[in-house]
A and B are shown apart, each in its own frame.
Chain A
Amino acid sequence: MAEIAALAEPLAALASVALLTAAGAGLAELVPHLARLGWPRRLGYGYLLGVAWIGGGLFALSHFAGAPLSRTTVVLLAGLPIAAGLAARWRRGPRRLPLRRLRPRAAEVAAIVLGGAVTLGLFADALTQPLADFDGRMTWAAQARYLRAAGTVDAPVLARSRWFVTHPQYPPLLPLAQVAAMELAGSGEDEEPFRPLYAAFFPALLLAVYASARRWTGRGPAAWTAAAAAALPFLSLARDGGAAGAYSDLPLAAFYGAGLALLLGAQPRAGDGWAAGALLAGAALAKNEGAPLALFALAIAAAWTVRRARRRRLPWREIARRLAPHALAAALVLAALALLAAWRAGIPNRFDEAYAAHFGPADLWPAAVARIPAIAPILGRRMAAWRDWALFWWVLPVVFWAGRRGLRGRPASPLALAALAPLGIAWAAYSVHPNLLYLPAVTWDRMLVQGLVPLLLLLAPALRACRSGMRSRAATAG
């Protein structure tokens, strides 16, 4: 009997992951391109959309309508897209996939085994170990406890500067997802049913990488790319920034990369625009860096679409039509940013670095260059750390060089810019931070994670080019 009772908490924690995924899967059913995907890829997008929907929905309803952060609100919020998704599916009727699409290839088996085993380890850890990271306890999980106790996103403890709250203006999407999990589980003070939410971002990111890469390169290279991501030690092993903790960097990476990839598709439709907007809004509400990254993603995706259309000499009317999904995505991101600004207006900032106040040209110059000799060795050491990255950063340039042919004709430039954007933000922060050596040492890995999805989407075509190069040379020689 005691063993059955002990299972209640893990089951409730897993149920919250399932509910968020179901809500997002319902939303994915409303997006034709996502609804056509096989169920594993749909679940990947579903989880990300579910967190964005539930967290963002709780945020908006609580702040603007005074809705309580309660189990009822969470269930109602989740029920809406689930019902809509079921209705859309029922209207479409059953869908049969061709048998060849169901049969996994060797690369896919490798990715499934590797990603599945690492995910299993993460969930095992999340369900039996208490939260023991730094920022998770300092900021994200603490904020969740304050919000849950107050029953509102406008918790009085945030609004009065006498109370000790670190980073009180940090975007609250992930704390609100934590509140949803805690409310669903009815958890007590020692229970942390939100831990599997963070673990679930790991397979969601892998599936989003696989789904996006597969559109551009086919199944084999996409699967090898997903396997490469699954094997990245930092993502699964690092408590401070990986899926084993409660940091917001991995969620931000997944939202940012998956949203951008939807907009960079061959011809995004309105549904893609909504989904991308929801994901990028999730990025904007996940972390401070999320807002500039989401806006940057919108800008480079729009620029890419215009550039591609101009090359084909399409008329401006057609270009405007092609930009409509981008406009929908931008509308959602701007709505999220407006919500964030409205919420922040009532919260005095304190116990925070307030980087934005130091990002003037006079602050950045000449520090951005003068600090390179001191900072670069630290960054190099972090990237060469075996336990965090293994050989990844050594191998990547070689694969890009050998497979550079594969990057032609694909959205390589926006993806490269998107991968570099978080590093640019990091560099700006390193240029103004008073502790020259501390910040890069503890944040560089996480900034690399933030730009990982676009980077991996560049890896896939490079891998394909390497393989096809080998094949064509082998065929010639034969």
Chain B
Amino acid sequence: MTRLPPSAALASGLFALYLASAAFLCLGHAAVRVGRAWQHRGESPAAARRRVFGAPYCDAIAALRRAIPVDGSYVLVDAGGRAEGSALFVRYDLAPRRAIFIGRWDALPASDSLRRTLPRGLPVIVAENGAAPPRALDRRGFLDEVARSRPARPTDPSDG
């Protein structure tokens, strides 16, 4: 009967335990991935996006891509949750169209001030919460909606 050095035996045993457990985890996921790929073989990229991000979101992105030329621009507002990245993902899906980001919906300036600074002639795209589709508004519609969504504030003299 051989007696192993305790430290080497412990280390080797723990390493084997790590390897077995982690390999089980990774191989399981690899099998799931291969199975899922087989299930969706032959699927077009557009169909894959609809499956993952939902039809309403993908339809809205497709409509925006048709409405804004590839070398065009738009104004972007983030109405999603703070850490959700909704505006970032909409921007990615619309790239290389250029975005002018005017901030989070709940931090937009008062409607009068916004009216002066909002770029003209560009559609305003509101990135919504989670998988909700982004909305496109024209300038007037956007300003009206902002005005409706918040209580009237006293006029700021510095706004001129």
Contacts and interface: CB of A to CB of B under 8 A. Distances in A.
A114 B34 contact: no
A236 B71 CA distance: 36
Interface string B23-50: 1011101111110111011111110110
A477 B3 contact: yes
Given A121-B29, A125-B33, A469 B8 contact: yes
Nearest to A2: B42
A149 to B, nearest CB: 3
Given A157-B96, A157-B98, A474 B2 contact: yes
A157 B95 CA distance: 11
Q: Helix, strand, loop or mixed for chain B's interface?
A: helix
A467 B7 CA distance: 11
Instruction: Report, as a range, how many residues of chain A touch the other chain.
Output: 35 or more
A233 B26 CA distance: 6
Interface centre among B19, B32, B43, B70 (most CB of A within 10 A): B19
Interface of A: 2-3, 6-7, 9, 114, 117-118, 120-122, 124-125, 127-130, 132, 134, 137-138, 141-142, 145-146, 148-150, 157, 162-164, 166, 188-192, 224, 227-228, 230-233, 236-237, 351, 387, 390-392, 394-395, 398-399, 401-403, 462-463, 465-467, 469-470, 473-474, 477-478
B67 interface: no
Given A231-B22, A390-B22, A395-B11, 5 more contacts: A114-B26, A163-B98, A231-B25, A231-B26, A237-B26
B19 A121 contact: no
Contacts of A128: 36-37, 40-41, 43, 48
A189 B42 CA distance: 18
A470 B8 CA distance: 6
B99 A164 contact: yes
A130 B48 contact: yes
A395 B12 CA distance: 9
B12 A470 contact: yes
Interface stretch (B84-92, B105-113, B140-148, B149-157): B84-92
B116 to A, nearest CB: 16
Given A124-B37, A473-B3, A395 B30 contact: no
